[in-house]
Structure formats: C-alpha cells, structure tokens
Structure 1
Amino acid sequence: MGGNTEELFERFKRGDTSRHSEGSGLGLAIAKSIIDLHEGNMEVEADGDLFKVSIQLDLA
C-alpha cells in the first residue's frame, strides 16, 4: 500500500495486486461505513503486510 492507509478504505482496493488471494477488496470499506454510521472512529496502522485496526465507539 505504500504507507497510505486511507487507500485501504477504498472499495475494491487490494493491498498487493501481485498476490493471487481471494477477496473483493470490500471488507474494510464496509466496516468503515458501519463505524461511520455509528459516529465512531476506525484507524489502521500498517507495517508491510501486517496491519492493526483500532475502533472507537461512544457507547453512552
């Protein structure tokens, strides 16, 4: 992804096009849409092929 984690939330965006793994590239885009509807925050920290997703919701 080259360090731009915002691209991970784009629909149909795949992290590494050289891989032949399955997937539509919709998972994180759908998750972000749901979090946004609940007025939450979703952040991604990427380190090569690994990434960590943090979700914050106000439950009050």
Structure 2
Amino acid sequence: MANILDGLARWPRSATRKEWLAITRELIRQTIADMDLHPAALAEVEEAFIGAGLL
C-alpha cells in the first residue's frame, strides 16, 4: 500500500474548493480500494462515505 502523501507533489498548491473536494474523493476511493475489504464490509464503508457526500 502506497503512502497517501506520495502524490502530494502533483496536487495543486492553489485550488478551488471543488478541485479539493475531487482530490479528497479520489483519496477516499484509493484508500478504500487498498483496504481489500470483504464485499459486505466494502458495501457498508461505501454506504457511509456516500451518505456523507464523500463518494
């Protein structure tokens, strides 16, 4: 699993709120994918993040 901060250099130093939300969503997607969860647990995690508007 890669360190979540490995891609920091490629992120914009100055970005709009919309751009930062897209970056945050991608980080969440990558982190969930790296967790290799059982399908039932994955569905539960995804549901929580979708409910919070982060996926």
TM-score class, shorter-chain normalisation, is 0.3 to 0.5
Structure with the higher strand share, 1 or 2: 1
Q: TM-score, normalized by length of structure 2?
A: 0.33
